[in-house]
Amino acid sequence: MRRKKIDVIPAESGQKALKLLQESAFDMVITDMRMPGITGMDVLAKAKEINSNIIVVIITAFGSIENTVEAMRAGAFNYLLKPFSADAIEAVIEKAREHISLVEENNYLRHQVSTGGSRTARKVIAESPQMKQILAEATQVAKSNASIFITGESGTGKEVIARTIHYNSLRANRPFIK
Ligand SMILES: Nc1ncnc2c1ncn2[C@@H]1O[C@H](COP(=O)(O)OP(=O)(O)OP(=O)(O)O)[C@@H](O)[C@H]1O
Ligand SMILES: [Mg+2]
C-alpha cells in the first residue's frame, strides 16, 4: 500500500486492534468477522465507540450473509467477501477515501456557512513595513508546496497569516485546519 500512500498497521487479533485504536488515530479498520478471541462485530462496536467517524470494513466468508447484514446495520461501511483480490481491497479503500473527503468538505462548508465565510472577515491589517513585508512573503510562498514555519508572540497574528497563506494557495478550496 506504499505506492498509494496508505499506512497499514497489521493486528494479529481483535484485542490487538482495539489496543492500537486506543493508542492512535486511524481512518479505517479492515477486520475479519470470525477470529479467535473477540469477533469482528466486537471490533466494529468498540472502534465506533472510540471514534464514531471511523470506517470499518468487514471481511466475511461466503455463507455468512446474515452476519454481514448485521454488521452493515451496526455501522460497517462495506464488506469484502472472501477470497478477495488486491484490486477489491483497493476499490474499497478508494470508496472510503471519497467518503472521508466528502465528510470533510461537508464539515468545512457547514463551518463556512455558519461563520459567514472567513475570507474577507479576517483581512489582515498592515501598516508597518515589517508587516507589509510578511504579507508579501506570505502571498508569495502560498503558491508553493513548501512547509512554512510561523513564529511570534501570542496575539501577533500567526493565525491570520496562516489563513492568508491558505486562501492564497492552490488548496484554498480545501479545509483550513488551524
Ligand atoms: N495584522 C492583523 N490584522 C488584523 N487582525 C489581526 C492582525 N494581527 C492579529 N489580529 C487579530 O488579533 C487576534 C489574534 O491574532 P491571531 O489569533 O492570529 O494570533 P496568534 O499569533 O495566532 O496568537 P496565539 O499565539 O495566541 O495563538 C485575532 O483576533 C486576529 O484576527
Ligand atoms: Mg494562534
What DSSP string runs through 59-70?
EE-TT-HHHHHH
Work out which ligand 1 atom sits closest to the CA atom of 158. 21
User: For the whole model, what pTM was predicted?
Assistant: 0.60
pLDDT of residue 107: 82
Q: Which residue has the higher pLDDT, 63 or 135?
A: 135
**Unique residue bearing C-alpha cell 492568508:** 164
Model confidence at 120, pLDDT cuts 50, 70, 90, reads very low
Q: Find the mean pLDDT for residues 2-13.
A: 84
CA dist list (Å): 14 to 33, 71, 89: 10, 15, 19
**Ligand 1 shell residues, CB under 6 Å:** 122, 124-126, 152, 154-160
Total length of the chain: 178
Residue minimizing CA distance to atom 6 of ligand 1: 157
C-alpha 31/C-alpha 128 separation (Å) is 58
C-alpha 178/C-alpha 111 separation (Å) is 13
The three cell numbers locating residue 73? 446495520
Least confident of 51-55, 113-117, 126-130, 164-168: 113-117
Contact at 8 Å (CB) between 30 and 1?
Answer: no
DSSP count for the chain of H helices, then E strands: 6, 3
Model confidence at 121, pLDDT cuts 50, 70, 90, reads very low
Question: Which of 35, 30, 5, 24 is CA-nearest to residue 14?
Answer: 35
- Ligand 2 centre to CA of 165 (Å) is 14
C-alpha 168/C-alpha 160 separation (Å) is 12
pLDDT of residue 65: 85
Q: Give the architecture (CATH level 2) of 2-115.
A: 3-Layer(aba) Sandwich (3.40)
Q: What are phi and psi of 63, to 5 degrees?
A: 95, 0
pLDDT of residue 5: 79
pLDDT of residue 57: 97
Rounded to the nearest integer, the mean pLDDT of the chain is: 89
Domain ranges of the chain: 2-115, 117-178
